Structure 1
Amino acid sequence: MLADPRRLACFAALLALALVAMPLLLQLPAWIPMIYMLLLAWRGWLVWHGRALPHSVWLMLALLLPIAALWFELRTLVGREGGVAFLLLLVGGKALETASLRDWRVLLALGFFLAATPLLFDQSPLSALWLVLSLFALTCAMVLLAGEEARLSPRITARALLLSFPLMVVLFVVMPRLPGPLWSMPSQQQGATTGLADSMSPGAIGKMILSREPVFTAEFAGTQPRPSQLYWRVMVFDQFDGSSWRAANLARQRSVTVAADAPRLRYEVVAEPYQGYLPLLEQGVASGDGVTLVYQQRLRRLDAANQARFRYQVESIASPRFADALTDSEQGFYLSLPAGNLRTVAAAQALAGRHPQPAARLQALQLWLAEQGLRYTLNPPQLQGDVVDGFLFGSRQGFCEHFASAFTVLARAAGLPARVVVGFQGGEFNGQGRFWQIRSSDAHAWSEVWVDGRWQRVDATSLVAPQRIEAGIANTLGEAAPRMPLVGGKPPGWAQWVGQQWQLANFSWQRWVVGYDAASQQGLFQKLGLGDVSAASIVKALLGGMLLAGGPLLWWLLRRRQAPQTLPQQVHALLLRRLQAAGIAAQAADTASELQARAAALTAAERDQLAGLLQRWQRLQYAPPAVDDNAWRTLLREVKAFRPARVGRKTGR
């Protein structure tokens, strides 16, 4: 059986490895981290009872069976999910073959690598705090393996991490960056990261509204826009099969026509793409690095296969209409409708007959829809068959996708080319950070109708529920309003303030740490006068940073070279400093009686206090060697509390 200190170090190492993997319970199939925990528990049981390590046959079975199951579930052992799960199982297996001190140190070294893997799934400040906690636990276990006392290991660990922190900051800032964010890795599942689906049917977007999960942030330069201007388009649906809308993904080129005096909104967005497309305020007129404007006023990431969150810049004109010359074939495409929804088609054609001018016809369609007694609700009844007819002439209850779908069908049936745009509308403004937070609950759909050579936005929802656009979804539907966890109800003022602060902290973390990419590093190097990022500038920055970061470490090393003082020496040295600070010419060679004589100028109370300290110091100094250190520590605290006033101030000299 291992000696008690070594056994304690082994348990500390196993607990640290278990702590490191806890966030992965939320990211991987639950059985994989559970098997990892069982392998660590098995090793802990062996350490506790002093049993021998399992035979290699049992160890191979304990590893090969979970690895085979992992392959059948994920069909891969590489990539983010597969690679992390495979590494987790290997570390658990490694724990069952650790015998020597070197083996335990290697196991902890793997733990340091494993501690970074949760950041591949989540880069929030909470994940960073958990990483710090994991590093502390792993380092503490390493200190115990080195033979240090258990009561001293937390202090030694904290000092080691604090001394290494400046160096970590220098390396983070200076070392060459990848073009994208630091923790970017393609997911095994290329699903919708914004919460939007690749099609729209009644109820599709309404399911998102109950989630207040943050989707992206936007920061505007200069004056903030009004909520009614914030129509974030992501996808365009232009094919209707009678119940659902889908994107035809037409690949055609268009030039953007902008008036010379049109005011522009310049903004920066941090978002994850959906199938390569990103949120964009209409009408986009210019885009920064890494993104490009494409057909149908969409914004596409140049590296469309990379679905990681990143920061990009755009310029837009917050206008509900923009010019676009459609060919005859394109007009025919945007007018096509499947068979069905006969009552809707008949109503639209009747309006078209009474209003031959396209602009007047569009206005008549909006007025007709507003007069139908429709109701805005998140829980409309299910629709079957001709869903548009069922909505307009049956249930008359719906959400934004019901309104957008119905109006687009009305416009096409009335001879006006139209399509559906899906994205987000509005957002929550953070006044302290001066940025907008857009959530899943801000998902929205609206129509675009082509009239007189221009696409014009028509938000049919605003015709029925204008408060949705001006006040936001949370103030329009009670189901979408924020609520206190567990207890429910509207959050009080202090909870809203805490939420704002956390929102600001998360935004700052994402912007300055997670979003610190090659472009950010280039800007920082230029501000520091180092020019472009090159081998020479990196060496200069690294040397300069090392000199600054090495200061605390050098100070600690110089202190380590000095022989540490014993407790009696600390008491004597501190007492001399207290007397010298009071103007007493105390010397290190003075005896207790000589120190008492030199302190004659002190007050009577101070002399009595000094006499008591000197008596206890002498008694402990000449006590047997087995005297308890606690007595010296008590005396040291009393000497720290002894602060006599300066002799000159008391006598007036």
Structure 2
Amino acid sequence: MHLPRDTRDTLFLLAVVGWVVMPQVRSLPLWCSLLTAGVLLWRGWIALKARPLPSRWWLLAFLLATLAATYGSHRTLLGREAGVTLIVVLLALKTLELRARRDALVIFFLGFFTMLTNFFQSQSLLTAGAMLVALLGLLTALINAHRPVGQPSLRESALLAGKMALLGAPVMLVLFLLFPRFAPLWGLPSDALTGRSGLSGTMKIGAIAELVLDDRVAMRVRFENAQPPPQRTLYFRGPVLSRFDGSEWTATERAFRPSRAANPPDLEVSGSPIRYETTLEPSSRSWLLTLDATPEAPKLPSSQRARLTTDLQWLASSPVTNLLRYRAESYPEFRYGLTAADGRARHDQGEYLRLPPGFNPRTVQLAEELRGRIPDGEPGGIVAAALERLRTGGYQYTLDPGVTGRDSADEFWFDTKAGFCEHIASAFVILMRAAGVPSRIVTGFQGGEMNSVDGYWTVRNADAHAWAEVWMADRGWVRVDPTASVAPGRIGQFQRLRAPDGVMAGAIGALSPTLLAQLRANWEALNNSWNQWVLNYTQDRQLDLLKNLGFEEPSWEDLGKVLAGLIVLAALGGAAWAQWERGQHDPWQRLLAQVRQRLTQSRIEVPPNAPPRELARLANGSNSLPAPIKAALTELLLAMERMRYAPDVTGQSAQVAKLQSQFKRIVWPKPTAIRTY
């Protein structure tokens, strides 16, 4: 309150600039963040101490140095990352030549642009909230810059900025809902939200265990049925891995080969389907996670197409780099793999029996023993024997099984007897192949948890899972989850291995075990609403909105017509508002202007600022008005003078109405034409 006006406004603007830049610190080069912080602090010190600004030569030197540093960091001065770095640097350096309102306006517009670049890194609800605060701050500073007289309070300017934002909100809402979204021209760069799911197309021992430390959401599912399916049945199918080199499982080319038919002929489904809607987080991968088994293509937005591989995995036509919502219909009861595409029985399963030579000799020996104990080496018996060993052999489900060596399956079956889901699934499939049972690994997600606030089923990266599929001549491919034998709670009771909570979460959990879960559920429900209604508002949803408005087969032309109609209505509303506002102006002044106009039409020269008494004098001294009009006009003007300069504070509206009625009763002579010679 005791600072000079210029100092106060400068410090406020610097604080707003710092707030705008702060969310990008993690993505900016370290030198850029340090330089920006140093420049803002230096400029604040200059404002507080009333020191002179640096010369233009210093600014030029800073600019050249930052250009060189930007090129050194990004190897280019073009592109998104380099462009954001430069715009942040220019915004900071511009504060060092903040001398006049013109410089402030440049900073404002650079600030607005920098604010938008934050959405290149994240479009989350937190980012949107932070940028809303930044918007109000920039508007407040902009209003201050246009109020040069006196020392208006920041609170007053902030209230005016909030009012401006609220007045613009309806326009923003209409444009958001109806402005055509022509992908990919409309929206952010496709990599703005990539890399969240973490599920890979290959599997090394320990890779999925690392995902358990990532508690972010991978997808959200809403089931149409009132009662969702049991958690133990929720297997969301991802990449199918059948090639093993001794340390890593990968998918074969066949796994990504599209099926010759939309519905594979060797897929038989039965029972009631599960209908659900999935909102998939960006992953930079093409796969669509669906429950087993999904015979019909998921319903995707018009910009995407789905194709089914021969391994029952659905793939999108392009990588998922933005939130993707799709509907699917799955059948938990199915049989698959009994016959080939041409109807012949499947006899050649060699690719699902291959093992690298020289690896895991003890596991191979164990497989021979199991095969010898089972009559005729029946696959079902071998599978049952292996699962029984897992249940009764003292095996443990853990995130930290120790360092895995060359023979990972041997170490699991005989040494450590501990592992995470990919350790267990890999060792199980290796054992099955060694015993002559065709098998493979399927990765994806299993389970999830219901959010009691919004009813969505939340599946996290921590729910990433690996299980096995074995092939039997009479049943085809059958899912076998060996982890369920080691840790049944992992599959059916949501007993997940989790990373330890942070300090704050641990403190809240210690005070109230349910409070942390409730806060988390509410926050995730709020985030889900943001994702569903804002980030996932696509072209198709725009057309769905038109359907709700009564259009049978909406098109972009209909969208344009609706938008144009709203613009016309807004223009008419603005005209009506202007007309109404015009009627709210000072009625006394409007009546005086009407008298002045009448006198001018009667060829009486009237000064533009003449008061009522002067107008009465001019009317009485004129020969162009009859005596009765002069008397009525004099009475009217003197009454107006008394009302204005000796007012009765009560009943002023009635007095004005009475004077207006008195003016209308005056019968004015028709104005005479002015001849020109």
Task: Give the TM-score taking structure 1 as reference length.
Answer: 0.78
Query: Alpha carbons of 1:502 and 1:106: their partners in 2 closer, same or farther (altered >3 Å)?
Result: same
Deviation by residue 1:186-230 (Cα, 9 ceiling, x = unmatched)? 33997x431234432332222222332222211122241211121
SS of corresponding position for 1:285: coil
**Which residue does the alignment assign to 2:354?**
336
Are 2:338 and 2:346, in contact at CA under 8 Å, matched by a contact in 1?
Answer: no
For these two proteins, the number of residue pairs brought into alignment is: 567
Are 2:179 and 2:563, in contact at CA under 8 Å, matched by a contact in 1?
Answer: no
Q: CA deviation at 1:436?
A: 0.8
1:422 counterpart letter in structure 2: T
1:470 counterpart letter in structure 2: G
Q: Establish whether residue 275 from structure 1 lines up as the match of residue 299 from structure 2.
A: no
Deviation by residue 1:272-293 (Cα, 9 ceiling, x = unmatched)? 2343223222212222222413
**Which residue does the alignment assign to 1:494?**
515
SS of corresponding position for 1:26: coil
Deviation by residue 1:123-167 (Cα, 9 ceiling, x = unmatched)? 222212112101100000000000162252112111111111111
**Which residue does the alignment assign to 1:470?**
492
Are 1:270 and 1:312, in contact at CA under 8 Å, matched by a contact in 2?
Answer: yes
Looking at structure 2, the residues matched to 348 and 75 of structure 1 have their Cα atoms a distance apart, in angstroms, of 55
Are 2:337 and 2:346, in contact at CA under 8 Å, matched by a contact in 1?
Answer: no
SS of corresponding position for 1:268: strand
Q: Establish whether residue 212 from structure 1 lines up as the match of residue 227 from structure 2.
A: no
Are 1:372 and 1:392, in contact at CA under 8 Å, matched by a contact in 2?
Answer: no
Q: CA deviation at 1:170?
A: 0.8
Are 1:442 and 1:473, in contact at CA under 8 Å, matched by a contact in 2?
Answer: no
Query: Alpha carbons of 1:33 and 1:543: their partners in 2 closer, same or farther (altered >3 Å)?
Result: farther
Q: How does 1:535-554 map to 2 (within 5 A)?
A: 535-544=557-566, 547=569
**Which residue does the alignment assign to 1:118?**
118
Q: Which moved more, 1:497-506 or 1:349-358?
A: 349-358
**Which residue does the alignment assign to 1:568?**
none
Are 1:288 and 1:312, in contact at CA under 8 Å, matched by a contact in 2?
Answer: yes
Q: Establish whether residue 313 from structure 1 lines up as the match of residue 332 from structure 2.
A: no
Are 2:339 and 2:346, in contact at CA under 8 Å, matched by a contact in 1?
Answer: no
Deviation by residue 1:587-617 (Cα, 9 ceiling, x = unmatched)? 998869x99xxxxxxxxxxxxxxxxxxxxxx
Query: Alpha carbons of 1:222 and 1:324: their partners in 2 closer, same or farther (altered >3 Å)?
Result: same
Out of 346, 354, 357, the residue aligned to residue 365 of structure 2 is: 346
Q: CA deviation at 1:403?
A: 0.7
Q: CA deviation at 1:334?
A: 1.6
Query: Alpha carbons of 1:99 and 1:536: their partners in 2 closer, same or farther (altered >3 Å)?
Result: farther
Deviation by residue 1:282-333 (Cα, 9 ceiling, x = unmatched)? 21222222241332222222122x5222222222222475336469897222
Q: CA deviation at 1:408?
A: 0.8
Out of 253, 260, 284, the residue aligned to residue 294 of structure 2 is: 284
**Which residue does the alignment assign to 1:503?**
524
Are 1:181 and 1:310, in contact at CA under 8 Å, matched by a contact in 2?
Answer: no
Q: Establish whether residue 534 from structure 1 lines up as the match of residue 556 from structure 2.
A: yes
Query: Alpha carbons of 1:409 and 1:537: their partners in 2 closer, same or farther (altered >3 Å)?
Result: same
Q: Which has the larger radius of gyration?
A: 2
Q: Which moved more, 1:407-416 or 1:528-537?
A: 528-537
Are 1:408 and 1:419, in contact at CA under 8 Å, matched by a contact in 2?
Answer: yes
Q: Establish whether residue 264 from structure 1 lines up as the match of residue 241 from structure 2.
A: no
Out of 381, 391, 416, the residue aligned to residue 370 of structure 1 is: 391
Out of 225, 248, 252, the residue aligned to residue 252 of structure 2 is: 248
Q: Which moved more, 1:327-336 or 1:399-408?
A: 327-336
Query: Alpha carbons of 1:553 and 1:347: their partners in 2 closer, same or farther (altered >3 Å)?
Result: farther
Q: How does 1:380-395 map to 2 (within 5 A)?
A: 380-395=401-416
Looking at structure 1, the residues matched to 414 and 185 of structure 2 have their Cα atoms a distance apart, in angstroms, of 50
Looking at structure 2, the residues matched to 294 and 231 of structure 1 have their Cα atoms a distance apart, in angstroms, of 17
2:350 counterpart letter in structure 1: G
**Which residue does the alignment assign to 1:446?**
467
SS of corresponding position for 1:473: coil
Higher relative contact order (CA 8 A, sep 6+): 1
Out of 229, 232, 236, the residue aligned to residue 225 of structure 1 is: 229
Q: CA deviation at 1:404?
A: 0.5
Out of 473, 477, 499, the residue aligned to residue 455 of structure 1 is: 477
Out of 379, 385, 392, the residue aligned to residue 358 of structure 1 is: 379
Looking at structure 2, the residues matched to 321 and 590 of structure 1 have their Cα atoms a distance apart, in angstroms, of 94
Looking at structure 2, the residues matched to 12 and 556 of structure 1 have their Cα atoms a distance apart, in angstroms, of 35
Are 1:334 and 1:418, in contact at CA under 8 Å, matched by a contact in 2?
Answer: yes
SS of corresponding position for 2:505: coil
Query: Alpha carbons of 1:172 and 1:188: their partners in 2 closer, same or farther (altered >3 Å)?
Result: closer
**Which residue does the alignment assign to 1:165?**
169
Are 1:79 and 1:188, in contact at CA under 8 Å, matched by a contact in 2?
Answer: no
2:176 counterpart letter in structure 1: F
Query: Alpha carbons of 1:147 and 1:405: their partners in 2 closer, same or farther (altered >3 Å)?
Result: same
Query: Alpha carbons of 1:32 and 1:554: their partners in 2 closer, same or farther (altered >3 Å)?
Result: farther
Query: Alpha carbons of 1:183 and 1:426: their partners in 2 closer, same or farther (altered >3 Å)?
Result: farther
Give the unaligned 5+ runs of structure 2.
Answer: 588-642, 652-677
SS of corresponding position for 1:359: helix
**Which residue does the alignment assign to 1:236?**
240
**Which residue does the alignment assign to 1:579?**
none
**Which residue does the alignment assign to 1:84?**
84
Q: CA deviation at 1:501?
A: 1.5
Q: CA deviation at 1:362?
A: 3.0
Q: CA deviation at 1:375?
A: 1.2
Q: Establish whether residue 417 from structure 1 lines up as the match of residue 438 from structure 2.
A: yes
Looking at structure 1, the residues matched to 295 and 86 of structure 2 have their Cα atoms a distance apart, in angstroms, of 46
Q: Establish whether residue 293 from structure 1 lines up as the match of residue 307 from structure 2.
A: yes
Q: How does 1:537-616 map to 2 (within 5 A)?
A: 537-544=559-566, 547=569
Task: Give the TM-score taking structure 2 as reference length.
Answer: 0.76
Q: CA deviation at 1:346?
A: 1.5
Q: CA deviation at 1:422?
A: 1.5
Are 1:7 and 1:48, in contact at CA under 8 Å, matched by a contact in 2?
Answer: yes
**Which residue does the alignment assign to 2:204?**
201
Deviation by residue 1:327-384 (Cα, 9 ceiling, x = unmatched)? 9897222211112101111211332343433333333333344333211122222221
Q: Establish whether residue 33 from structure 1 lines up as the match of residue 53 from structure 2.
A: no
Looking at structure 2, the residues matched to 561 and 98 of structure 1 have their Cα atoms a distance apart, in angstroms, of 43
Out of 415, 423, 426, the residue aligned to residue 405 of structure 1 is: 426
Q: CA deviation at 1:464?
A: 1.4
Looking at structure 1, the residues matched to 136 and 581 of structure 2 have their Cα atoms a distance apart, in angstroms, of 23
